[in-house]
Amino acid sequence: MQTQPNVLCVADASGKRAVQRCDFLAHPPFSDTPDGLFRSYLSPAYTATVKQVREWMEEAGMHCRIDAAGNLIGRYEGLTPNAPALLIGSHLDSVKNAGRYDGTLGVILGIEAVASFHAQQKRFPFAIEVIGFGDEEGSRFPVSMLTSRAVAGSLDTLPDVQDAQGTSIQQALLESGLDPAHYLEASYKPSQVLAYFEAHIEQGPVLESKDHAVGLVTSIAAQYRFKVTMKGMAGHAGTLPMHLRQDALAAAAEAISCIEKIAQSGPDDLVATVGQMSVKPGAPNIVPGWVEFSIDVRAGTENVRNKAAETITQALHEISQKRGVEMELALQHDLSATPCNPQLSNVLAASIQAVTGQPAYKLVSGAGHDAMIMAALTPVCMLFIRCEKGISHNPAEAVQDEDVETALRVMCDFIQNIPSEKAA
């Protein structure tokens, strides 16, 4: 790819090195398991990863610290000491049997961007802080995005939760040399922050299908999660006539098909998923009398999400009435949409076009990210990076060196062109 005019030529930093570093962190001691990557918050693997990534931050010219929540933060000072910081972040923890690039690549790309500026002895009116968040996935304790909530000041208290082995989060913090009583001190004041930027693999197939290396995230999707219970009447599979049955599973099957059709009939950013189901009695010769299943509805705006949820709810009530089955529907999860800041997104779009020679491809993030939490503190924007077949949360997760190089160059151009005053 030819370098476009006015686009920073990255010095020693590179997308290839970022990929290699993520690959290096995919094995013990940076994984809690010998087979397949798993790095949980405050575990030995997390501690080892923080130590290694800290070394890379220091090599890139940053001063590093571990905050009260266990996040790793490297600061590249601006032209003026103690200037507000552009935060560049993502997470260092992972799900079980994870891919190598989810979260981690965004942190490493932040380091590579700073390394390129440091090599040129280039500084800005603002500082740059690269943050490796400790807990985004919630894979150890039953709460997600805990450490970005601490940084954004969105926590009132530290949750009283335990991991699968019965270790409390308070105990885990103490074992890591952190004081639970000071956890909330990880928070920033809005005056300390200019903006938050996050680079992340797409975790979906859209960029690959459109042949784009990177994409501009316009918003992080609004999400509803429901639990649906259908109660019919269990009966003998051989003696209960079809026309007299109150089959809860047959009702659920019709409901799932209807949910899929409703989502397919909506805009491209609308998705609906049934990912869990339990059936009772669960015997091959008994008509099912009880079924419980989940519904996950997401869209780029609350309006689209809410309309779809209303249509689904009405359809499920009609199905249950028609089949003589009782239905209960409970809302379990409600996340508002997080729009990315228009001013920052315009700068990022210009950087994408400058580097790639093409207009920025825009898309909604269906997955949640730390950026949605950080939006409570400061304006946010996000860059997506193409991943092979859209696979994520899976060892088959893969990226191309060239795509990551493009992302790095976009990031560097973006950093050079963002306003030194906080976006409105």
Annotated binding site for Zn(2+): 91, 102, 137, 200, 393
Residue 2: inside a domain, yes or no?
Answer: no
CB 76 within 8 A of CB 128: yes
> Which H or E element spans position 7?
none
Residue 340 structure tokens:
């990315």
Residue 423: inside a domain, yes or no?
Answer: no
pTM for the predicted model, two decimal places? 0.87
CB 46 within 8 A of CB 40: yes
Q: Which of 297, 287, 286 lies closest to 228 in space, CA to CA?
A: 297
Please say which residue of 335, 359, 376 terminates a domain. 335
CB atoms within 10 A of CB 2: 6
Annotated binding site: 91, 102, 137, 200, 225, 285, 298, 393
Residue 26 structure tokens:
């995919």
Annotated binding site for allantoate: 225, 285, 298
Domain that holds residue 241: 222-335
Provide the pLDDT confidence category of residue 4 given band limits of 50, 70 and 90. very low
Residue 112 to residues 56, 59, 63, 201, 354, Cα–Cα distance (Å): 9, 10, 15, 16, 19
Task: Give the C-alpha separation, 148 to 138, whole Å.
Answer: 12
Residue 61: inside a domain, yes or no?
Answer: yes
Q: Are residues 343 and 302 in the same domain?
A: no
- Give the domain CATH number at 128: 3.40.630.10
Q: How many helices (H) and strands (E) does the chain have?
A: 11, 16
- Structure confidence by residue, pLDDT tens digits, 208-243: 999 999 999 999 999 999 999 999 999 999 999 999
- Structure confidence by residue, pLDDT tens digits, 151-175: 999 999 999 999 999 999 999 999 9
Provide the pLDDT confidence category of residue 8 given band limits of 50, 70 and 90. very low
Give the pairing of strands 286-287 and 235-236.
Answer: antiparallel
Q: Name the 3-class secondary structure at 67.
A: coil
Cβ contacts of residue 215 below 8 Å, gap of 6+?
A: 202, 206, 207, 360, 361, 362, 363, 383, 384, 386
Q: Are residues 281 and 139 in the same domain?
A: no
Q: Are residues 117 and 152 in the same domain?
A: yes
Residue 44: inside a domain, yes or no?
Answer: yes
Q: Which amino acid is at 7?
A: V
Residue 3: inside a domain, yes or no?
Answer: no
Task: Give the C-alpha separation, 224 to 403, whole Å.
Answer: 33
Q: Is the peptide bond before 281 cis (omega within 30 degrees of 0)?
A: yes
329 forms bridges with which residues in the sheet?
228
Number of domains in the chain: 2
- Structure confidence by residue, pLDDT tens digits, 345-394: 999 999 999 999 999 999 999 999 999 999 999 999 999 999 999 999 99
Please say which residue of 335, 366, 381 terminates a domain. 335
- Structure confidence by residue, pLDDT tens digits, 307-348: 999 999 999 999 999 999 999 999 998 988 999 999 999 999
Please say which residue of 315, 335, 355 terminates a domain. 335
- Give the domain CATH number at 308: 3.30.70.360
Residue 210: inside a domain, yes or no?
Answer: yes
